[in-house]
Structures are given as structure tokens and as C-alpha cells.
Amino acid sequence: MTGPRYTKLIESLPATVPFVGPEEQERRAGRPFAARLGANENGFGPSPRAIAAMAAAAGEVWKYGDSTSFELRAAIAEHHGVAVENVLVGEGIDGLLGYLCRLVIEPGDAVVTSDGAYPTFNYHVAGFGGVLHKVPYVADREDPQSLIATAAETQAKLVYIANPDNPMGTHHPREAIEAMIEAVPEGTLMVLDEAYVEFAPEGTEARIAADDPRVIRMRTFSKAHGMAGARVGYALAAPGLIAAFDKIRNHFGMCRISQEGALAALQDKTWQAYMRLLVAGARDRITTIAQENGLSALPSATNFVAIDSGQDGEFARAVLAELGARGIFVRMPFVAPQDRCIRVSVGPDAELDAFAAALPDALAAARAKLSR
Amino acid sequence: MTGPRYTKLIESLPATVPFVGPEEQERRAGRPFAARLGANENGFGPSPRAIAAMAAAAGEVWKYGDSTSFELRAAIAEHHGVAVENVLVGEGIDGLLGYLCRLVIEPGDAVVTSDGAYPTFNYHVAGFGGVLHKVPYVADREDPQSLIATAAETQAKLVYIANPDNPMGTHHPREAIEAMIEAVPEGTLMVLDEAYVEFAPEGTEARIAADDPRVIRMRTFSKAHGMAGARVGYALAAPGLIAAFDKIRNHFGMCRISQEGALAALQDKTWQAYMRLLVAGARDRITTIAQENGLSALPSATNFVAIDSGQDGEFARAVLAELGARGIFVRMPFVAPQDRCIRVSVGPDAELDAFAAALPDALAAARAKLSR
């Protein structure tokens, strides 16, 4: 008796699980975190109207969700001034990135991204046999020029950029993104991940014609709408590309409760405005906490702040470990020199209080450990 | 400016959307259905405790779900008397079938199923380039012998059987399934879809060793637990196969609210027993409605009943259309001679009342139309 015969590609993929979530870390530590500030979630939570809509939908969950997410797509289309045919709703940006990779990547195909950018995109590219070409950050920002140049050199199927960026929280003005789209090589699709754009300064969101075939935009209800656990993302693109997803997507894959919650969240403009104020306040507080500890924080266009440890990645990793030992869940960039930073997501005062209380000891312990 | 370069496989897939849900049908008709009895949903809904758990979880949905679904998997493992390592939780059986196909199917690989069995499985097989070999039903049941024989002939990567069966609602005793597992050819994985098994007579659920490498079982919270819209399915299989999904699955793909709801539903044994009584009562009522109209119904081991129209597929399709025109959403098998039937899902009395009221007129109208 043997097991199944996997594909050659599957046999070649690493067996290690790249994503260890906070619950798994809590189980390993044997206790819950005092502050959950590591996953770029939005601890202020969803609109009260969205919560009410989801609670009401719980009793109706015996019905499959609408396989076309029509009402939600119509609301999103109106919000962006595009047609319903320009909008695809899916199981978070992660789910949509997986479908997109499946649409275009055959083993050996080139894909371009930044070294240290969103790892889940890389995971999906590798999962379909794509070959990643990574360009370095420049001044803690993704570099449109080198991304485009490398896409041209490698005849890439996809070139990925997030604006604003994760993990650094930096951003480009929309003109830089618009110029990048104009320079996308023939045959390359640009993936513009705008998961955090609602938190960015006015003038960050690129102006893109709805039917532009050169780019697909990714947006989410996980960040600005505080609904990461609901798994609602959407793509904006030309109708032909949107329709192509229908060849392969899990048509009844959307949670009905999440569809209802996202619709209510999108309609609650008051909460969206309030949320931006809450997040801006929390960013300022994180920056102040950094300064009180003799550290500087990078300006953030997102719902998280990269705090510069003032030293290298080894030191930042030590700080991260010491914070974890003190019940504080935060994360950090993977690649030097960005890995000199620790990345702290926004949250309500109680969680930031816990972070503020733990940071001085964590820094002292990390310094003591590395000076030994 | 051109669009993306799709893979050759994607270019070869049909652009038509195979799945038209009830909401889409309602939009096309310009009015809601009076009775939603076509999607094998469970109109009695989830456990009140599951509803309460989901409503409570709505406020916590700012957190991503646990990427390992650990608590839910532990509860499922205990329920089935297996280890956590034997359990994978995913975005419905549909999502799990998609991942499974991706794990094993390369273009040209053979896969065996029954002609007229679950179309979403076929969709995923085709979506990865698999070649489907279909064997006929025998006496309205899937045929283990011919499935196995064809799997051996074609050296299939997968052989699929649902027990009980959709769309006919028939079932095999567990001994037939266990014998099938013993006969699975070397190098073939048997996919045992048990989406409906909780509704089946005692002695239907096969006894399978937890670590048997020849078979993967698929189960769901959509049917017996009345949570189709929550998108929670699970697989039971040998640890090596379960671990293989971690190479490709969307690790943070599960809705947190759904995870909480499924856990509460699994713990509510009282509701599960009550649900089986409700469903059995509704099956009897559908059978009675059929008899009152001079039709017979197939014995059902599921939450739906196949009513034999007494004529052929053309007539059954006419009945289906007439029912639809009267606001009754039901469906029917795709393939002769099973397509002589219409398939009616269980639901509360009000929906069955609407079906009972519409059926005589629908039959008369269909007979009149076809006699012209």
C-alpha cells in the first residue's frame, strides 16, 4: 500500500510550513499573548454595523453564499467608479494571488518582486513553479525602476509591488505608480497590492483606467475595515482578466457571513473616517513609544509602524524574542537592511500600553545578551 | 497594450461558468424564490449554539483565523477517534477537492468518477488538466466495481465515489465501500466523499484505519450542521497526505467566524440528533408529496430526495422549468437515465408547503407542453 502519486512540482516544494500564526505561537508558549500587534491586523475591529450584519447573517448561514458576490461587487464597483465586470471578490488577497498565479504561471516562468516583500505572493509563485527574481529595496521603499527593468530583462509574467509597502510602511506617490504602469513591458502583468492604501496620505492611490490590461489591483477588507478573519479581498482589473478567474476559482468559496459583513462595512463611511483617525493616533503613539526608548520610527502610510532598532538584524531578532517572552506579539522584516526594524501593528491603548511597558526591558535584555 | 499571458492549460479551459447559484437565478427572474430547495442546503439551519458562537465571533473578526484550525481539528479528531495529524480543515469540500487535484494531477493524468456524479470534482480535475473517465450508475447507485476496474485500466491518480450519493440520494452499505478500498489499485488514491453520511442509515459510514494511505475521506459542516455558507469542510487521511496540503493551501484561508461556528456545532450533540429527526421528517414529507402527485421517490440516505418523474429527462427538465416559473428552486441530475428525476432538498414546512402547492400545476403544465 502506497500513498498518492504527487506531481513532480509538488514533490519539489518544501515541506516546511512558512506561516506560523499567533495562535500557534501561543500554543507553543503555553500562554496567550498580552498584546497581538504582529499580524498587521486592525485591533480597532470592524464597523459596529458590520458586526451587526454578520451576527444577523449567522442565522442564515445554512445558505451557500452568492457565488458571484453580486451585491458586494456592485457596491465595490460604485465605490471605485468602475463596472461590476471590473470587480472580482475572493477569499482574501491571499486567495486571489493564488488564483492569479495559477492563471499565468507555468514551471520556469519568471516573476519579479522586491527582496523582502510580501512572502505569501512568493509562496504562491513557487507553488506553481514560477522563478522569482528579487530586486532590493532602495531607501526602505520598493523600487519601481528596478522592478520594471528586471521584468523586461526576464520577460516576467508578473511584476509585484505593494503601495504602501509591507513590511516597511513606506509609500510612493501615485505618480510613481502611474509611471510604472506606463513602463510595464509587453506581456507582463503588474500586480498592484493596495491592501493598506486607505491609511495612506491623499494622493497615494493611483489613477488607473478601469479597463487597463496592464495591471490588476488587489484590495481587502482585512485592514481598513478590520475584518482580517472574514477573508474578503477583491481585485480590480480589465473585464477579460476578471472573467478568466471564473475558469478556475472556487465559485462557492465565499463565506456568506463575510459577504454580508463586507457590504455593511463598505457602506459605513462614518466608521471608515473614524477608523483612519484611530489608526493615525495609534501610529503616533507607537512612534512616541519608540522615541521614548531612544529609537526612531519610519513614517508609516499603513496600520503598522516599522521601528528602527538602531542596530542590525541580529539585534532586532533578539528584541523580537525578548518581546515575545514578555507576551508581546510583533514581527519584523526578513531581509537586510530592513531587518534592523521591528514591525508593530496598531491596536487599542491597552495593547499599546503592554507594548510600551515591555519594550524597555526587552531592549535592555537584548543588549545584555548581545554584549556577552 | 495586451493582457496577461495565460498558461496553455488556462487557455484550453471553457470560459462558461458552470455554476449558476440561486441568487443569480433570482436576479435573472427579477424576483426571489418562494422555496429554496435546490442546492442541497439544510433549511433547518445550524445549531442555536453555533449561531450564538458565530454572532459572538463577529466582534473578534479583526483577527485572522488560526492558520492551523487547531481547536477545530482537535475536536474533529476526538469525534472520529483519530489523531489531529489525520485531520485537515479547509474552505469546504470544494476547496479541499481543488487542493487535492493540484497535489496529484498533471495534464493528461487519468481520474475516474461516475457519469453524473459531483460536477465540482470534475471541474477541479479539468482545471488541472486531468482526463476524466466516467462509468455509468447501476440501478441509480454509483458502481464500486466498475470504478475500481476503470481506475486499474487507466492507472488513475484518483477514483471518486460519494457515499451516500449526490444527486440520487442512494447509498452503499459500509462493507461495499470497505471492499472497494481493499481493491484500490496501487498508485491510485480513493476519494470518499461523505458529505451526506450523517443522514444515512446506521452501517453506512465505512470503517477505515486512520493511517490508511489508499483513501481520503471528505466531510463537511454544510449539510448535517446546516452551515453551507460558512465554508468549513475537512479531510481525514494518513498524516503524510494531510501534511502535503500544507505545501500549497491558503494557510490563512479560513474564516474565523466559521471556525468558531463549526466548533460549537460539533459540540452540540443534542441539536445533531434533533436535526436528523427534522431531516428524516422532511424526507418523508417530500416522498408523500410525490406520491400525492402519482410519482414515486427514491429512498434517500441524504438531506434531499430524488423524485422520479415517471418519464424521461426532457419531461423532468420541463417540470423543473415550470417549478422555477412558480418560484420553486429545485435541481435535477444531468445524465440519463438519472435525469428522469428532480432533486428536492429538505427544508422547513413553509418551503415544502410552497413546493406541494406548485407541483400539481407544474406537472400539468409540463405534460401539456410536451403533448403539444
Cβ of B63 within 8 Å of Cβ of A36? The answer is yes
Q: Which residue of B lies nearest to A26 if distances are taken between CA atoms?
A: B66
* Of residues B19, B158, B257, nearest to A67 (C-beta): B19
**pLDDT at position A231:** 98
**pLDDT at position B295:** 98
Region of B133 (left: φ > 0; alpha: ψ -120 to 50; beta: rest) is beta
In the predicted model, what is the mean pLDDT of chain A?
Answer: 97
* Of residues A10, A61, A250, nearest to B247 (C-beta): A10
C-alpha cell at B54: 458565530
Of chain B, the percentage scoring pLDDT greater than 90 comes to 97
Say whether pLDDT at A49 is over 90. Answer: yes
pLDDT of A323-367, one tens digit each?
A: 999 999 999 999 999 999 999 999 999 999 999 999 999 999 999
Cβ of B44 within 8 Å of Cβ of A21? The answer is no
In angstroms, what separates the C-alpha of B260 from chain A's closest C-alpha? 11
Q: Which residues of A touch B258 (CB under 8 A)?
A: 255, 257
Distance in angstroms (rounded) separating the CA atoms of residues A53 and A58: 9
**pLDDT at position A1:** 72
Average pLDDT, integer, range A117-129 = 97
pLDDT of A193-236, one tens digit each?
A: 999 999 999 999 999 999 999 999 999 999 999 999 999 999 99
Say whether pLDDT at A2 is over 90. Answer: no
Distance from the Cα of residue A146 to its chain's centroid: 22
Question: In terms of Cα–Cα distance, which of B230, B220, B236, B229 is closest to B261?
Answer: B230
- Comparing A8 with A15, the larger pLDDT belongs to A8
Distance in angstroms (rounded) separating the CA atoms of residues A246 and B58: 29
* Of residues B15, B63, B92, nearest to A243 (C-beta): B15
- Comparing B16 with A7, the larger pLDDT belongs to A7
Task: Look at the alpha carbons of A238, A243, A244, A245 in this order and tell me if their dihedral is positive or negative.
Answer: positive
> Exposure of A372 by Cβ count < 10 A (0-12 exposed, 13-18 middle, 19+ buried)?
exposed
Asked whether A344 and A334 are in contact (CB, 8 A), the reply is no
Sorting pLDDT into bands at 50, 70 and 90, what band is B17?
Answer: confident
Sorting pLDDT into bands at 50, 70 and 90, what band is B19?
Answer: confident
**pLDDT at position B253:** 96
Q: Which residues of A touch B45 (CB under 8 A)?
A: 59-62
Beta-bridged to residue A87, according to DSSP, are A236
**What burial letters (b/e) apply to B64-98, b meaning 16+ CB within 10 Å?**
bbbbbbbebbebbbeebebebbbbbbbbbbbbbbb
- Count of C-beta atoms within a 10 Å radius of residue A102: 23
**What burial letters (b/e) apply to B200-235, b meaning 16+ CB within 10 Å?**
beeebbbebebebbbbbbbbbbbbbbbbbbbbbbbb
Q: Does B212 touch chain A (CB under 8 A)?
A: yes
> Exposure of B357 by Cβ count < 10 A (0-12 exposed, 13-18 middle, 19+ buried)?
middle
Average pLDDT, integer, range B50-75 = 98
Instruction: Give the DSSP letter string of B18-75.
Output: ----HHHHHHHHTS--SEE-SS---TT-S-HHHHHHHHHHHTTTTSPPPTT-HHHHHH
Contacts 24+ apart (CB under 8 A), A27-35: A27/B70, A29/A324, A31/A327, A32/A327, A33/A327, A33/A328, A33/A329, A34/A326, A34/A327, A34/A328, A34/A351, A34/A354, A34/A358, A35/A327, A35/A328, A35/A329, A35/A347, A35/A351, A35/A352, A35/A354, A35/A355, A35/A358
Distance in angstroms (rounded) separating the CA atoms of residues A244 and B3: 11
Average pLDDT, integer, range A297-311 = 98
Cβ of B91 within 8 Å of Cβ of A91? The answer is yes
Q: Which residues of A touch B348 (CB under 8 A)?
A: none
What is the Cα Rg of chain B in Å? 21
Instruction: Provide the number of CB pairs (under 8 Å) joining chain A to chain B.
Output: 288
User: Which positions ≥6 away from A353 have C-beta within 8 Å?
Assistant: none
Sheet of B296-297: strand order equals: B296-297, B304-308, B341-345
Q: Does A213 touch chain B (CB under 8 A)?
A: yes
C-alpha cell at B185: 489499485
* Of residues A42, A68, A255, nearest to B24 (C-beta): A68
Asked whether A310 and A295 are in contact (CB, 8 A), the reply is yes
Average pLDDT, integer, range A241-262 = 97
In the predicted model, what is the mean pLDDT of chain B?
Answer: 97
Q: Which residues of A touch B70 (CB under 8 A)?
A: 23-24, 27
**pLDDT at position A261:** 98
In angstroms, what separates the C-alpha of B367 from chain A's closest C-alpha? 32
Q: Does A348 touch chain B (CB under 8 A)?
A: no
Say whether pLDDT at B317 is over 90. Answer: yes
Q: Which residues of A touch B4 (CB under 8 A)?
A: 103-104, 157-158, 187, 189, 213, 241
**pLDDT at position A133:** 98
Question: What amino acid is encoded at B318 in this protein?
Answer: A
Instruction: Give the DSSP letter string of B325-356.
Output: HTTEE-B--SSTTGGGEEEEE---HHHHHHHH
Count of CA atoms in the C-beta half-sphere (13 A) of A208: 29
pLDDT of B236-265, one tens digit each?
A: 999 999 999 999 999 999 999 999 999 999
In angstroms, what separates the C-alpha of B207 from chain A's closest C-alpha? 17
Asked whether B300 and B7 are in contact (CB, 8 A), the reply is no
**pLDDT at position A158:** 98
**pLDDT at position A123:** 97
**pLDDT at position B3:** 81
Average pLDDT, integer, range A295-311 = 98
pLDDT of A149-164, one tens digit each?
A: 999 999 999 999 999 9
CA distances from A8 to A34, A321, B102, B103, B105 (A): 44, 38, 11, 9, 10
Question: What amino acid is encoded at B291 in this protein?
Answer: Q
Instruction: Give kind and range of the element (H or E) at residue B94.
Output: helix B92-104
Say whether pLDDT at B170 is over 90. Answer: yes
Cβ of A252 within 8 Å of Cβ of B92? The answer is yes
Q: Does A5 touch chain B (CB under 8 A)?
A: yes
**pLDDT at position B2:** 75
**pLDDT at position B234:** 98
Q: Which A positions 7-66 lie with beta carbon below 8 A of chain B?
A: 7-8, 10, 13-15, 17-24, 27, 36, 39, 41-46, 50-51, 54-55, 57-66
- Count of C-beta atoms within a 10 Å radius of residue A242: 19
Sorting pLDDT into bands at 50, 70 and 90, what band is B371?
Answer: confident
Give the best residue of B111, B121, B217, B250 to mutate against chain A (max A CB count within 10 A): B250
Q: Tell me if residue B183 falls in helix, strand or coil.
A: coil
**pLDDT at position A317:** 98
Cβ of A61 within 8 Å of Cβ of B230? The answer is yes
Domains and CATH numbers, chain B: 8-45+270-371 (3.90.1150.10), 48-268 (3.40.640.10)
Distance from the Cα of residue B213 to its chain's centroid: 23
SS (H, E, C) chain A: CCCCCCCHHHHHCCCCCCCCCHHHHHHHHCCCCCEECCCCCCCCCCCHHHHHHHHHHHCCCCCCCCCCCHHHHHHHHHHHCCCHHHEEEECHHHHHHHHHHHHHCCCCCEEEEECCCCHHHHHHHHHCCCEEEEECCECCECCHHHHHHHHHHHCCCEEEEECCCCCCCCCCCHHHHHHHHHHCCCCCEEEEECCCHHHCCCCCCCCCCCCCCCEEEEEECCCCCCCHHHCCEEEECCHHHHHHHHHCCCCCCCCHHHHHHHHHHHHCHHHHHHHHHHHHHHHHHHHHHHHHCCCEECCCCCCEEEEECCCCHHHHHHHHHHHHHCCEECECCCCCCHHHEEEEECCCHHHHHHHHHHHHHHHHHHHHHHHC
> Exposure of A317 by Cβ count < 10 A (0-12 exposed, 13-18 middle, 19+ buried)?
middle
Evaluate whether ipTM surpasses 0.90: yes
Distance in angstroms (rounded) separating the CA atoms of residues B348 and B281: 10
Question: What amino acid is encoded at A264 in this protein?
Answer: A
Cβ of A241 within 8 Å of Cβ of B4? The answer is yes
Asked whether B231 and A67 are in contact (CB, 8 A), the reply is no
Say whether pLDDT at B190 is over 80. Answer: yes
Asked whether A34 and A26 are in contact (CB, 8 A), the reply is no
**pLDDT at position A17:** 81
Asked whether A114 and A137 are in contact (CB, 8 A), the reply is yes
Beta-bridged to residue B192, according to DSSP, are B161, B217
Q: Which B positions 123-142 lie with beta carbon below 8 A of chain A?
A: 127
**pLDDT at position B372:** 75
What is the Cα Rg of chain A in Å? 21
Question: In terms of Cα–Cα distance, which of B135, B195, B145 is closest to B165?
Answer: B195
Instruction: Give kind and range of the element (H or E) at residue B93.
Output: helix B92-104
Q: Which residue of B lies nearest to A17 if distances are taken between CA atoms?
A: B246
Average pLDDT, integer, range B131-142 = 98
